[in-house]
Every structure is written in structure tokens, then in C-alpha cells.
């Protein structure tokens, strides 16, 4: 990984001839940044030969401000099989990475109408969207239980407590009135969170959380 920054302390204001205006830059000290990177598990890569890039490189650009480039790498600790705790720790660290997890789901809701006109979307009873923690115009994955199609679109709030579940635009080619569908939304998070899953009755009225 290569990092470039302006060297110094505080804020520097210089005239940028490329943009014809003054620009403000925050300045950093090399030692401070190296200490911060070390806490993140990154170490400086020294050049193996004079021809190689690495270490700290300094240069001055047309904005009359010194620059510095870091070349750093992530240091990974290989767990020892003789020490089971090290393997557990490694697994624990991996679990902290961000993942795409299910956030919301409306199960087995029936399409009440399909209208070719209008933008591509699926219109859902606003009350059901609230129960499932779905926002207006949020991206969703629709799974049609009747024909097996899966597709992405966005949800739009419909009349509250009406039980509406209506496809519009080209989504009408994938799910038509009478089909049963499941509507799912996902979120990128760094720890497990229980999804909001709801069920509805034959009239698309809220039944319970699952």
C-alpha cells in the first residue's frame, strides 16, 4: 500500500495554479503517521535495492509544499497449531471484518397488482415497510416463490394499512398479480445483528415477527 501526504504541522494554505485558487492542506509529521500505522498492524517496506521503491520518499510539487510517500504492508501473525488459543484469536479477528448480512425480510406476501407504467419498483404497504425496517426507495432483493425468479429493485411506500404489494415497470415481467414473493434487504456490517423478519396473512396484513 502506498500513502502520500504533506509534511509538516498544522494547516498550510498555498496558491494552486492548476485550479487558480488558494487551497488549504493539513500537514503531518512522518513519525506520528508511522506510529499510527504501526497500531493498525502496518510496517514500513524498505527498498531491497537502490532501484526499488520503498521506505520514505520526499519530493516537492508545483504547489510549493513538501510531500512524503510511505510504502507499507499489513503484518499478519500466523497461528501456531501447538497453541489452540492463537487459532481462536485469529478466527475472532476474522469475524470483525465487514460482511453483507440480511437486515430485513417480508415473507410470502402476495402481489396485489402489476402496472407496466411508472418506474421500476415494488410498492409496499407503508405499515409493513415500517415493521420490516425498510426505507422508501431502498434497494431490495425479490424472490418470487411462484415462478422462481430472483431480481433486484427498490421499494416504494404505498398506502398505509392497505395491504398493497404492487410491481411497476419492468418488474411486472417478473412478478404479476397473484404471485407470492419474499422481499429482502441487506446491510454491510462488522458484527452479527438479528434481522427484522415479518410474516403476513393472506390479505397482506402484519401477523408477527419471526
Give the model's pLDDT for residue 73.
52
H or E, element range at 6 = strand 2-6
Closest CA to 130 of 172, 97, 86, 160: 160
Its pTM stands at 0.55
Closest CA to 19 of 63, 67, 68, 65: 63
Other CB atoms within 10 Å distance of the CB of residue 200: 21
Q: Which domains does the chain have, with CATH numbers?
A: 2-74 (no CATH), 99-209 (2.40.40.20)
Give the model's pLDDT for residue 87.
43
Closest CA to 102 of 134, 129, 126, 130: 134
Give the model's pLDDT for residue 175.
95
From residue 196, alpha-carbon distances to 80, 95, 108, 133, 144 in Å are 40, 21, 15, 7, 20
* Tens of pLDDT, residue by residue, the chain (210 residues): 566 667 777 777 777 666 667 766 677 777 777 777 777 777 777 777 766 666 666 555 555 555 554 555 544 444 444 454 544 444 444 455 688 899 999 999 999 999 998 889 999 999 999 999 999 999 999 999 999 999 999 999 999 999 999 999 999 999 999 999 999 999 988 888 899 999 999 999 999 999
* Cell numbers standing for residue 101: 448480512
- Euclidean distance between CA atoms 27 and 7, whole angstroms: 5
Give the model's pLDDT for residue 125.
97
H or E, element range at 130 = helix 126-132
Q: DSSP secondary-structure letter at 39? A: H
- Integer Rg of the chain from CA: 27
- Euclidean distance between CA atoms 163 and 201, whole angstroms: 10
In the numeric block, the cell 504492508 is attached to 73
138 touches 188 (CB < 8 A): no
Give the model's pLDDT for residue 108.
94
- Euclidean distance between CA atoms 154 and 119, whole angstroms: 10
Give the model's pLDDT for residue 90.
43
Closest CA to 4 of 48, 74, 50, 65: 65
Amino acid at each position: 500500500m502506498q500513502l502520500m501526504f504533506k509534511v509538516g504541522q498544522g494547516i498550510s494554505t498555498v496558491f494552486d495554479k492548476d485550479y487558480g485558487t488558494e487551497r488549504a492542506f493539513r500537514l503531518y509529521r512522518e513519525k506520528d503517521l508511522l506510529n499510527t500505522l504501526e497500531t493498525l498492524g502496518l510496517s514500513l517496506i524498505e527498498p531491497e535495492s537502490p532501484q526499488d521503491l520503498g521506505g520514505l520518499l520526499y519530493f516537492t510539487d508545483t504547489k510549493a509544499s513538501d510531500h512524503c510517500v510511505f510504502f507499507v504492508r499489513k503484518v499478519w501473525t500466523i497461528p501456531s497449531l501447538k497453541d489452540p488459543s492463537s487459532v481462536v484469536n485469529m478466527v475472532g479477528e476474522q469475524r470483525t471484518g465487514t460482511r453483507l448480512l440480511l437486515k430485513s425480510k417480508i415473507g410470502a406476501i402476495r402481489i396485489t397488482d402489476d402496472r407496466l407504467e411508472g418506474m421500476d419498483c415494488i410498492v409496499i404497504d407503508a405499515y409493513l415497510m415500517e415493521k420490516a425496517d425498510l426505507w422508501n426507495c431502498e434497494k431490495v432483493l425479490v424472490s418470487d416463490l411462484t415462478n422462481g425468479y430472483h431480481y433486484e429493485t427498490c421499494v416504494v411506500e404505498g398506502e398505509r394499512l392497505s395491504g398493497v404489494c404492487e410491481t411497476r415497470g419492468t418488474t411486472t415481467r417478473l412478478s404479476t398479480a397473484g404471485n407470492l414473493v419474499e422481499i429482502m434487504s441487506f446491510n454491510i456490517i462488522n458484527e452479527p445483528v438479528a434481522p427484522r423478519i415479518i410474516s403476513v396473512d393472506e390479505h397482506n396484513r402484519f401477523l408477527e415477527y419471526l
